[in-house]
Amino acid sequence: MTSIPVQAQRRPVDRPRVEALTRELLLALGEDPDRDGLKDTPRRFADWWGEFLDHDPGRLDTSFAQECQYGDFVLLTGIEAWSVCEHHLLPFRLDVSIAYIPDSSVLGLSKLVRHLEAHTHALQLQERITHDVAHDLAKAAGTDDVAVFTAGEHLCMSMRGVKATSVRTTTMCRLGRIESDPDLAARIERLALPVRA
């Protein structure tokens, strides 16, 4: 029913190898991997990568038949998600809003977040997450009337390079009537996009 999330296209994390490579990395960084503070770091680091990349989002297909068409949209806001930038291997945090107009059935609300998780637990790009989640939800909901909005803080920008700590990157993918109807799009965006002071 949905496209294959990025992590389903890769092999599971080889934790013993990641642990050995992390020990080598610590040595290359001039550290002593046998000192008290670092003794278990290679194992913890390998465990974290395994937990993050081999994450199972659970069932994605729960929906409920609608007895009547109420004709308006469903909007979830305030969803926080983390991913890892595939260009720098640094984390980025997303504030996500998801909207859709139900057709003959409604999706379980948690499934909207699970679709997001299916794409964030990978080496990723914010733009790809936004696009892929919108298209997967359109398939799952049986309607093209879907929109996904993401505002991201990327540590590859705030910790390194230009060190721009206040920058937020906004991406959106609007499909169906949410793309073609400017009034509907404006109503949803007013509620979905975070207001920054």
3-state helix, strand, coil in the chain (%, to 5): 40, 25, 35
Amino acid occupying residue 82: W
pLDDT at residue 112 in the model: 92
Q: Which of 41, 145, 166 is nearest to 100 (CA)?
A: 145
Residue extent(s) of CATH 3.30.1130.10 domains in the chain = 63-192
pLDDT at residue 164 in the model: 85
Enter the tokens of residue 188: 């949803």
Q: What is the CATH number of domain 63-192?
A: 3.30.1130.10
pLDDT at residue 188 in the model: 95
Q: Under 8 Å CB-to-CB from 154, ≥6 apart: which residues?
A: 85, 90, 92, 126, 167, 169
Enter the tokens of residue 176: 């169906």
C-alpha dihedral (71, 64, 115, 16), degrees to nearest 10:
170
Determine the Cα–Cα distance for residues 192 and 189; give it in Å rounded to an integer. Answer: 5
CB 84 within 8 A of CB 123: yes
pLDDT at residue 163 in the model: 85
pLDDT at residue 1 in the model: 41
Determine the Cα–Cα distance for residues 115 and 117; give it in Å rounded to an integer. Answer: 5
Enter the tokens of residue 16: 């013993």
H helices of 74-175, in order, are 109-120, 126-141, 155-158
Q: What is the CATH number of domain 13-53?
A: 1.10.286.10
Environment class of residue 83 by beta-carbon count within 10 Å: exposed (0-12), middle (13-18) or buried (19+)?
buried
Mean pLDDT split into 10-residue runs, the chain, 197 residues = 56 96 97 96 96 87 64 91 96 96 87 94 97 96 95 92 88 97 95 71
Residue extent(s) of CATH 1.10.286.10 domains in the chain = 13-53
pLDDT at residue 106 in the model: 85
CB 47 within 8 A of CB 15: yes
Amino acid occupying residue 131: H
